[in-house]
Structure 1
Amino acid sequence: MDAIGELRVDVERLRAADPEGLYLFMMRDYPYMMTPDQVAEFTNTTGQEVRRLLRRGEMRGCRVGVKWLVPKISLLDYLYGRRRAE
């Protein structure tokens, strides 16, 4: 495990969530806890669409006050879930 400030990141779990190695190298410049706007930038959508996915439970994240945060592992789960569905 690596530590980012007080946040402990399980790197092996992240790698396991990206078994094909498609996304992690592209996410390296993003923080572990991403804002909806950062997720939107990465996925070429809008922050509004990402917040809609979060509210519907289609993407996992957590609310801190009125703001949403999305862990990278949740984004990977969402991306690979979409790939499996297609």
Structure 2
Amino acid sequence: MEVQTGELEIDEARLREADPDGLYLFMLEDYPYMMTPDHVAAFSGTTSQEIRKLLCRGDMQGCRIGIRWFIPKLGLLNYLDKDRREKEGGTYAATEMRQAIQP
């Protein structure tokens, strides 16, 4: 099911693929699709500065607009599931961010 958010359609199937065990999506329901480092920090129990470090190093997927960072839910889910995918030899090809938002 695709949800229309303003001008964006969010592909819910891609989000479910990124969270195959269903551990995180229900906890992220109250957060916007494009989260700020403060949102991610509140969700993860860390600081927004640590989230910005992960973004700058490329460990977490996000985009920078001016001085502000935005992290799509799919980027956070990919980061949270990264260790399991590396152990299984998987890649992020099935959950690429560019496919999460459809024009």
TM-score by length of 2: 0.79
Instruction: State the Cα RMSD in Å.
Output: 1.3
Task: Report which structure shows greater RCO (CA 8 Å, sep ≥6).
Answer: 2
Matched residue, 2:80? 79
Percent identical residues: 59
Residues 31, 80 of structure 1: alpha-carbon distance in 2 compared, 3 angstrom cutoff: same
SS of the equivalent of 1:22 reads coil
In structure 2, C-alpha distance between the alignment counterparts of 1:77 and 1:8, rounded to whole Å? 19
Aligned-pair CA distance for 1:84: 4.8
Kindly name which structure, 1 or 2, has the bigger radius of gyration based on alpha carbons: 2
Aligned-pair CA distance for 1:85: 5.8
In structure 1, C-alpha distance between the alignment counterparts of 2:41 and 2:70, rounded to whole Å? 12
Which AA in structure 2 matches 1:28?
E
In structure 1, C-alpha distance between the alignment counterparts of 2:67 and 2:3, rounded to whole Å? 28
Equivalences for residues 1-86 of structure 1 within 5 A: 1-84=2-85
Structure 1 residue runs of 4 or more that deviate by more than 2 Å after TM superposition? 82-86
Aligned-pair CA distance for 1:83: 4.5
In structure 2, C-alpha distance between the alignment counterparts of 1:73 and 1:60, rounded to whole Å? 8
Q: How many residues align?
A: 86
Aligned-pair CA distance for 1:19: 0.3
